[in-house]
Amino acid sequence: MEPIYLLEAWKVREMLLRRELTPREVLQAVWERVREVEPRVNAYITETWDAAEEAVREAEKDWSQGKDPGPAAGLPMAVKDILCTRGIRTTCASLILENFVPVYDATVIERLKAAGLTMIGKANMDEFAMGSSTENSYFGPTRNPWDLGRVPGGSSGGSAAAVAAGEALWALGSDTGGSIRQPASFCGLVGMKPTYGRVSRYGLVAFASSLDQVGPITRCVKDCALLLQLICGHDPKDSTSLPEGVPDFLASLEGDVRGMRAGVPRELMGEGIAPGVKRIVVSCFEVLEDLGMKVEEVSLPHLDYALDAYYIIAPAEASSNLARYDGVRYGLRVEGEDVLDMYSRTRARGFGDEVKRRIMLGTYALSAGYYEAYYAQAQKIRTLIIGDFRRAFERCDVLVSPTSPTVAFRLGERLEDPLAMYMSDICTIPVNLAGLPAISVPCGLDQGLPVGFQIMGKLLDEVTVLRVAYALEQALGFRARPDSSKGVG
């Protein structure tokens, strides 16, 4: 049997229910693994073993009394350090929030606590979720467990690396332009961005409010469905939360996909997609056809402008959201000669280069005389992209593509070239602009590194996305794990 720390969460859950394992044994196995590999991976900003110990004690107490403490009990989890956790610091990987300790939990944390959450740490990330490599962290870069010389993706790279390295059984991330799916792809995992509004954003520190969404990073589709079930649902504390009920994601996994239609957007299979990635993704189209699905090419003509629109809208919203970090109410404060000087010194020292770059881009796009030329035009492009997806889904049940145009790139390779870094998100950004659900499933290896296959769905149709993902996962039987020659096997 594989080590406990490499098992799927649902399997560990079943072993706990059968009393083949205890929550303490699971926690101990993961704790020893963290001690072994964390110095090389740097997946965590803050470890929370005291909170995990308390959760384990409560779970064992419930089980001793014949009660089920909940579907998340005894399953060590990493939580991206952008979600507020009461009494535990939430830094967003930034100096400006290095010592910020929230007085409340994000709604998703509340819901997971009710399900027995065993949180072992706050995961590293790109500062304020701005990046595609987890190199933009005040606490140092995270390394990819498959190859310690490469990035794990971003901005939820710490969450993905923790699961891939066996430092957690599953994790929460956030996805603004691909920040769950791209690191899942780079680390050989499953990562899902739900429909915008399906999961509450209350307590998620805002980057771009019309794009951000919380979601799972897991080892398999079944774990993804289980975790998604626990965090979805309407929240009156979030004005963008949708009132729709939550389907039974687990029960729908094994439904038949025969007769479904999968569209392949030609704009996501052209220039910029690495040959090895394209070859593996095309082979997956054949697998879908073997499963009884019809695969056909479609066009989303305005996707050529998606990256441009995103890098106007997201920085503009970031500029507005990050204005609150001024040294007055919370976070870092650097004294100055007067209040304006204090603002300037605090923000100059507290924010990293990428955050400053995006604040300046966003402020420019929103400034008088440029708003209509940039921000308003970007929103029009967004509307056109939404229309492209709507028309494609009139004839298709899902759309499929690579998750990332390449496998994980080397640490430092794109730091001096922001445009090359931004191109990492070319396949994932359109879904965020349209507010749609999408999942990344590992589908093979190129140069010994994982390739992700992206499945996109209609609004609120996570059920179909998960069903197709599960069918593909079962057909592929992808079981590769990092090895010790380059990574942390």
Fold of 4-260: Amidase signature (AS) enzymes (3.90.1300)
Spatial distance between the Cα atoms of 291 and 468, rounded to a whole number of angstroms: 10
DSSP state of 208: S
Spatial distance between the Cα atoms of 255 and 233, rounded to a whole number of angstroms: 23
Spatial distance between the Cα atoms of 249 and 461, rounded to a whole number of angstroms: 10
pLDDT, tens only, 254-303: 989 999 999 999 999 988 999 999 999 999 999 999 999 999 999 999 99
Q: Decide if 321 contacts 209 (C-beta within 8 A).
A: yes
pLDDT at res. 418: 86
User: Strand 398-402 and strand 449-456: pairing?
Assistant: antiparallel
Three-class secondary structure of residue 309 per DSSP: helix
343 Cβ neighbours under 8 A, 6+ residues apart: 326, 327, 336
pLDDT at res. 350: 97
Spatial distance between the Cα atoms of 23 and 17, rounded to a whole number of angstroms: 10
Spatial distance between the Cα atoms of 347 and 334, rounded to a whole number of angstroms: 9
Nearest to 425 by CA among 411, 441, 412, 409: 409
pLDDT, tens only, 191-212: 999 999 999 999 999 999 999 9
Residues of the chain with CATH 3.90.1300.10: 4-260
Is 404 among the residues known to form the active site?
Answer: no
Instruction: Write down the catalytic residue from 156, 159, 179, 404.
Output: 179
Rg (CA), the chain: 21
Residues of the chain with pLDDT under 50: none
Q: What is the DSSP string of 11-30?
A: HHHHHHHTTSS-HHHHHHHH
pLDDT at res. 329: 87
pTM, whole model, 2 decimals? 0.97
Is 278 among the residues known to form the active site?
Answer: no
Instruction: Write down the catalytic residue from 11, 80, 113, 193.
Output: 80
Instruction: Write down the catalytic residue from 132, 133, 155, 401.
Output: 155
Is 113 among the residues known to form the active site?
Answer: no
For residue 10 the two structure tokens come to: 């649902």
